[in-house]
Structure 1
Amino acid sequence: MKRLILLASALLALPVLAAPPVPVSWSLAGQWRAHDGNDPAFEGWRGTDANWRKLRVPANWYSAGWDHQGALWYRTEFSLPQPAADTLATLEFDGVDYFADVWLNGKRQAKHEGYFQRFAIDITGDLTRYNRLAVRVDSPFEDPKTIWPLHKKQVKGILNQHDSRPGGAWSPQGQDANSGGIWAPVRLRLSRAVAIDNLILRPDWSQGLDKPTLSAELVYRAPADVQTTLTLTAAPDNFTGTRYQQAFPMSLKATGDTPQRIAVSLPMPDAKLWWPVGYGFPHLYQVTATLRDDAGVLDRRRSRTGLRQVIEQPDNKGWTVNGTRVFIRGTNYIGSPWLSTMTARRYARDFALVEKMNANAIRVHGHVANRSLYQQADERGLMIWQDVPLQWGYDDSDAFADNAARQSREMVAQFGNSPSIVVWGGQNEPPFNSPWMEKRFPDWHKDLNRVLMQRVADALAEDKTRIVHAYSAVEEHYWAGWYFGTLQNLLEPAKTAIITEFGAQALPKLSTLKTIIPRKDWWPASTEPGDPKWTSWKYHNFQPIQTFKNAGLSRGDSMASFIHNTQQYQADLVALAAESYRRQRYQPVTALFQFMFVETWPSINWGVVDYLRQPKAGYYALQRAYQPLLPSIDPVNVQWKADQPGQIHLWIVNDQPSGLSGARLAWRVKQGGKLLEQGEQPVTIPADSGNKIVSLPVTPTGTQPLQVESRILNAGGKTVADNRLRIDVLPR
């Protein structure tokens, strides 16, 4: 009974005798006890846990040092003084991957499915002075013969199948390094008579952008009817400004076992709006909902939000934020397969790199991250395309569709207060839209998961304050130069307004590579994928077929040349694609997302930043191609021939909401030490524009690469943007 004195190191400051004041909450973080739970006959909620191993909570069990598949039992104990008679006790889990079966003091409390949701359990009737909490957590290994990967049964997206996971997407090792565990905070909350489980905030623009109204919905539980006053306050969080507040007397009905909802509206005339990076300041409000009666506060819930209007205009005219058109320069992002390892500080580090790359948006690819990601994005004005955690194929039953739709609604309710989320995205490459699956899976059919996709899309569309993209289609994934086609295809007209993936793989720098591939496997005998030394590389996501066959890359004669060749190819591809699609702004392109920003574990994949957060050449190439004001270079052809004339088109693309007058566009084209073309031209650059300025006839005189430089100078002669392009030249 020694461990029955403290709340797993969480209640050290709690008075020993006095009843705790309410509302109040405590963290249950610390060293819990854990035991293998895969034996269904083992009842981990009973008996002693003295011989169980210690395991950190919150943490994914893999990141905490336990490589495990299936179920684990978790246990902890805590004590607290006897609460007052009208106290409600709530156990709140912020995220358990994937199934949770919760027991308190020998009594089963609740079951929950879903890895990312916050869920609350009323433990009022079973709370004592000394308490024993047990949780069976199950993150199942899905049978590769019957379920995984086309008929998955867990709504986990990239966390249990993806190209960037340990083992890759399709190998027998593709489910390695399981993400299971109590990975997000656990709290004990005490309130009086009422418990507020969620505060849902949405802006209402029916009176115009200068007269917004904040709609607030409280999800609450109450064992009996309650006469109360709800006070809703919206106070500036990251700026100095007006504080808005209103009181609403109301009668709350008893809820029984099902939480109920109440809705109120708070007018916020002349409120400061949340703006994305590059367009204004991301004003945020701290919103507090407080329930009171004559004796004082019953419960309180806080959440931060921002007021912004997002509209997708018809006919590829673009997205607007607060009435201003915004072109999306984005990148796909996964911080880690083990979400507990990503802290606010680590997200801030990554997002600083994203912004320095001149991106203004991320696609949270195929998963829901921890809450720190959204908080950091809100503060920085970084826009988010938020996917549901559905990647490729799933159980095609109505029951699974119901489950996925429910979890999608929970995602919207729990994360929708973040103004940075401007898009809800549905399933990524659903099977019915992926005919390439027919060759891989004999049970594929043309309607597989079509109902699932629609049910989820309908659930997302219930939020009227955001853009909803029903699913991420293969037609929006522009993989020319890697999975098919050549670099030349990237200069062709785009067929979709939204481009959610494009890119290529590249090796990281040598010092990083040494931490990934064992030295004995560094140099396979050949570039044929069947060489056994490539096994280690492929486990770490490297794709030899695409590298050597499709892209036609050479290793050269050393690891240094191998790294250089792959990094140069990735840099050339992402810059060529990004500039091509930016020149097609609104004809038809409205948004593009490079795949992907950072490698999520010791991996060799599509990241332009390696897993140690060291940028590759592709990062700097994209940084140039994503400049808000870009002197874009169109080579027309990616390979030229000696002594044959060609043309180079010079463009100015301006994503900024302001223009530039009295400017000049200057250029030079060199080959070796010879200057082939040079000139400049006065230009007036409109806001939110893209125009071809000049076409240069150029004839290379040998096989040395052409070097094209272009820059924009302001009225004072200062260079405000510059660009460069190397064009390979073949023999005639």
Structure 2
Amino acid sequence: MPRSVLPLDGDEWRLGRAPSGPEPRQATWQEMERVVEWLPAAVPGNVRADLLRANRLPDLFWDQGPESARWVDDHSWWLVRDWPASLSAGQRVHLVLRGVDYLSEVFLNGRHLGSHEGMFSPQVYDVTEHVAAENRLAVRIAGSRWLPRDRSSAGEKLLNILEARLSGLAGRFPHRRDTLKCQMSFGWDFAPPLPTMGIWDAVYAIVSDGVFIRDVSVSQEVQPGEAHLEIDVTFDAAVAGPLVVACRLEGESFQGPGASASRELEAVPGTNRARLRLAVPEPRLWWPWDHGEPNLYRLAVEVQAGGRLLDGVVETVGLRRIEMDGWTLRVNGRPVYARGANWVPADILPGRAGEDDYRALLTLAREANMNVLRVWGGGLREKRAFYDLCDRLGILIWQEFPFACAFLTRFPRSEGYLHLARSEARAIVRDLRQHACLALWCGGNEFSPRRNEPLVSALREIVAAEDPARPFVPASPAGGDSHFWGVWHNFLPPSAYREDPARFGSEFGLQAPPDPGVLARFLPEAGLWPPGKGWTYHGAGLAKLWRYARPFLGKGEVTLDRFVQASQRAQAHGLQIAIEHHRRARAQGDGGALVWQLNEPWPAISWAIVDFYRNPKPAYEAVRRAFNPVLVSLDYPLRPYRGGDTVEIDAWVLNDTPRALPGTRVEIVLEEPGGRPAEMARLDLDVAANAVAHAGRLAWRLPAGERWRLAARLIHGGEVLSANEYELGIHDGIQPTALQRLRTRLAELVVPA
């Protein structure tokens, strides 16, 4: 019979607080008898999410709600579900928990199946001998107060505490690096400190017939006109005997010819491996959406005996070749300029985020002309639905391992810690390597590869062994990309973006509040305006918000509406300058621009261009326009202008597509205050595919007034491919104060680049 999967997700779970004891991490089946109260629970989920639904916690989003939820960390928790099973003779059952956060003990029908540490590695148990007609699955999760904190050396612990106090990140949890869980949950500059606990990913039972396929790995060699696949199958057999391993590849997102292969082998009891080879003539390649169709194949792998199916799995694969040429991605040999953003977890309680949440946010990214997302190292290995959607949307993923921010300090070097890092990293790679969207692996966010060489070496070795065809970058930034925070953290004007010489902008951004109506959904009325403590608690850098809003505020009383509008305009203005700078620099080898950040995990005053409730800020539209695959861009001195001044303009056409654009026209208009054209120009040129073209230079004298506007259009074949605009009357030339410069210098000593 074919494999059957019994989902154990849903709301048929129960949550119970474990009785306190001297050994909170040692669980027994009998302990559940002493649980005083059982509450309804959901999986995937989170302990706090269940408590919220049961009205045992206040709204975590409202004001400083997380402060009243800290007691949850001081207790361990049971999650229990009953489920039926009906097996035939010879069938096997494997229980799979894809993600339990973080220290867990798993029981089935009174039997202890295993202890586990980790958030990202799955737990797989052969429970064939333990399954009955009626079953009880129980998972005990240790409270976050008992998270490991003994893996750093004494010197590292001291530096952890010092860095936490100086940086403000995870000040309550200076030993966060001793664990391999979502680092953001310890508190970040856009999320509250709320260490997560729960079964955050899927749970299911797999029923097969004598054989259990554990892993299928596909390696590809894609050449013009053909593709060759090597398919490695690892499976467990209950008994020895002759078996046939077979595979078939056929179009999933299209109709077309397929390919198949099989081989016979003599299985032994326990682990067996088989390798099959497929030749695919004239393959339909997978492309990022702006370069072609994200074509996908369906790969079916089966193990048979005497014509009877014992087990089978189906994978979705895309045929493509991905390389890095300097800091330029190449897909199927073609350069792809990276236009995108940084992705952070979609919810501070990540178990709640599901396919609908992913689809909504990824659709917004796609509609903003993004073709790359960086899954930031302070976050997650997201659930399968995220990567499945990116496969289908044609969005490339820069995936980081879950290591983030070690400035003064470093990650532990103990063998126990490195063993855990290898285990978690290996599980992440095996889980994601089949996805066509996955472009590269990165060791993590903002740490020194040199000081963390043991960790980086372990990650590099895992990628080389498990997914050797994909590029590996030791950390970000490192060796060419930049996290440019001179604007915002160092108070520099947005014109400083143009001084960034890096060949890839992997982080840059400015904060902006959401609309006033959204602020009122999570801040008390008394603290809305002027800004109260809730603003800071929800991430607002008030001094910096005021500094960057100033050029857009004008005169008169500053109200909440005016402040929000000015901040949002400043964010949009700065991001346009940064993105267009990087895109024009493509001719010098610039490989991409990734805005910090697309989304946010809770209602915040953050750098996100889409607020938690999925409302795009004005910066979203500015980013969408600046990320147009074919863009007309005007480069002019960013300085204050007065009537009678001459503005010198260089017009550029940036074509990220594989299509040449001969006979293209650029139209540029200088508008007086009031919108009347003062100057007009038409520039004709041919634009090559995947190229940056200089359309021409103009020098115009500004008419009287102070609010001029430049508008540009790119026209090809009678169609407007790109429209862009610039406000000449707005200029931010505010330089940091002496005190701000001193603080920046001290920060650079503490947090070296």
User: SS of the counterpart of 1:215?
Assistant: strand
Contact 1:328–1:360 (CA<8 Å) still a contact in 2?
A: yes
Query: 2:264 & 2:131 partners in 1: Cα distance?
Result: 31
User: SS of the counterpart of 1:232?
Assistant: strand
Structure 2 counterpart of 1:460: 463
Query: 1:78 & 1:356 partners in 2: Cα distance?
Result: 42
Structure 1 counterpart of 2:509: 503
Query: 2:396 & 2:456 partners in 1: Cα distance?
Result: 24
Aligned length: 672
Of 416, 424, 427, the match for 1:410: 427
Query: 1:145 & 1:705 partners in 2: Cα distance?
Result: 51
Query: 2:549 & 2:116 partners in 1: Cα distance?
Result: 46
Q: Structure 1 residue 293: deviation in Å?
A: 0.5
Contact 1:384–1:422 (CA<8 Å) still a contact in 2?
A: yes
Query: 2:707 & 2:700 partners in 1: Cα distance?
Result: 13
Structure 2 counterpart of 1:387: 400
Query: 1:116 & 1:378 partners in 2: Cα distance?
Result: 21
When residues 151 and 602 of structure 1 are mapped into structure 2, their CA distance, relative to the original with a 3 A threshold, is closer
When residues 730 and 575 of structure 1 are mapped into structure 2, their CA distance, relative to the original with a 3 A threshold, is closer
The yes-or-no answer on 1:224 pairing with 2:239 is yes
Which amino acid in 2 is paired with 1:62? R
Contact 2:642–2:706 (CA<8 Å) still a contact in 1?
A: no
Structure 2 counterpart of 1:540: 538
Query: Per-residue CA shift, 1:322-354, capped at 9, x if unaligned?
Result: 122111101111222333322223222222211
Question: Normalised by the size of structure 2, how large is the TM-score?
Answer: 0.84
The yes-or-no answer on 1:522 pairing with 2:547 is no
The yes-or-no answer on 1:578 pairing with 2:586 is no
When residues 344 and 182 of structure 1 are mapped into structure 2, their CA distance, relative to the original with a 3 A threshold, is same
The yes-or-no answer on 1:26 pairing with 2:51 is no
Which amino acid in 2 is paired with 1:359? M
Query: 1:133 & 1:285 partners in 2: Cα distance?
Result: 36
Query: 1:451 & 1:534 partners in 2: Cα distance?
Result: 45
Structure 2 counterpart of 1:190: 207
When residues 162 and 678 of structure 1 are mapped into structure 2, their CA distance, relative to the original with a 3 A threshold, is farther
Of 254, 257, 261, the match for 1:239: 254
When residues 324 and 730 of structure 1 are mapped into structure 2, their CA distance, relative to the original with a 3 A threshold, is closer
Query: 1:592 & 1:195 partners in 2: Cα distance?
Result: 44
CA RMSD for the aligned pairs?
2.6
Of 50, 65, 87, the match for 2:91: 87
The yes-or-no answer on 1:491 pairing with 2:495 is no
The yes-or-no answer on 1:378 pairing with 2:391 is yes
Q: How does 1:11-90 map to 2 (within 5 A)?
A: 23-29=3-9, 30-37=11-18, 39=21, 40=23, 43=27, 45-46=29-30, 48=33, 51-66=37-52, 68-69=72-73, 71-81=76-86, 83-84=88-89, 86-90=90-94
Q: Structure 1 residue 303: deviation in Å?
A: 1.2
Query: 1:54 & 1:345 partners in 2: Cα distance?
Result: 23
Query: 2:87 & 2:495 partners in 1: Cα distance?
Result: 73
Contact 1:274–1:306 (CA<8 Å) still a contact in 2?
A: yes
Instruction: Give the structure with the larger helix fraction.
Output: 2
When residues 537 and 198 of structure 1 are mapped into structure 2, their CA distance, relative to the original with a 3 A threshold, is same
Which amino acid in 2 is paired with 1:194? V
Q: How does 1:321-400 map to 2 (within 5 A)?
A: 321-334=331-344, 335-366=346-377, 367-393=380-406, 394-400=411-417
Structure 2 counterpart of 1:442: none
Which amino acid in 2 is paired with 1:53? L
Query: 2:732 & 2:459 partners in 1: Cα distance?
Result: 54
Structure 1 counterpart of 2:710: 708
Q: Structure 1 residue 586: deviation in Å?
A: 4.5
Structure 2 counterpart of 1:296: 308
Structure 1 counterpart of 2:134: 130
Q: Structure 1 residue 514: deviation in Å?
A: 1.0
Query: 1:50 & 1:229 partners in 2: Cα distance?
Result: 53
User: SS of the counterpart of 1:392?
Assistant: strand
Structure 2 counterpart of 1:305: 317
Which amino acid in 2 is paired with 1:339? P
**Structure 1 runs not aligned, ≥5 long:** 1-20, 168-173, 434-446, 525-532
**Structure 2 runs not aligned, ≥5 long:** 53-68, 150-159, 163-171, 734-753
Query: 1:638 & 1:374 partners in 2: Cα distance?
Result: 44
User: SS of the counterpart of 1:409?
Assistant: helix
User: SS of the counterpart of 2:129?
Assistant: helix
When residues 242 and 216 of structure 1 are mapped into structure 2, their CA distance, relative to the original with a 3 A threshold, is same
Which amino acid in 2 is paired with 1:546? K
Q: Structure 1 residue 83: deviation in Å?
A: 3.8
Structure 2 counterpart of 1:283: 295
Contact 2:649–2:699 (CA<8 Å) still a contact in 1?
A: yes
When residues 472 and 638 of structure 1 are mapped into structure 2, their CA distance, relative to the original with a 3 A threshold, is farther
When residues 720 and 131 of structure 1 are mapped into structure 2, their CA distance, relative to the original with a 3 A threshold, is closer
Q: Structure 1 residue 210: deviation in Å?
A: 2.0
When residues 450 and 634 of structure 1 are mapped into structure 2, their CA distance, relative to the original with a 3 A threshold, is same
Question: Normalised by the size of structure 1, how large is the TM-score?
Answer: 0.86
Query: 1:311 & 1:326 partners in 2: Cα distance?
Result: 10
Structure 1 window deviating more from structure 2 (394-403 vs 380-389): it is 394-403
Structure 2 counterpart of 1:170: none
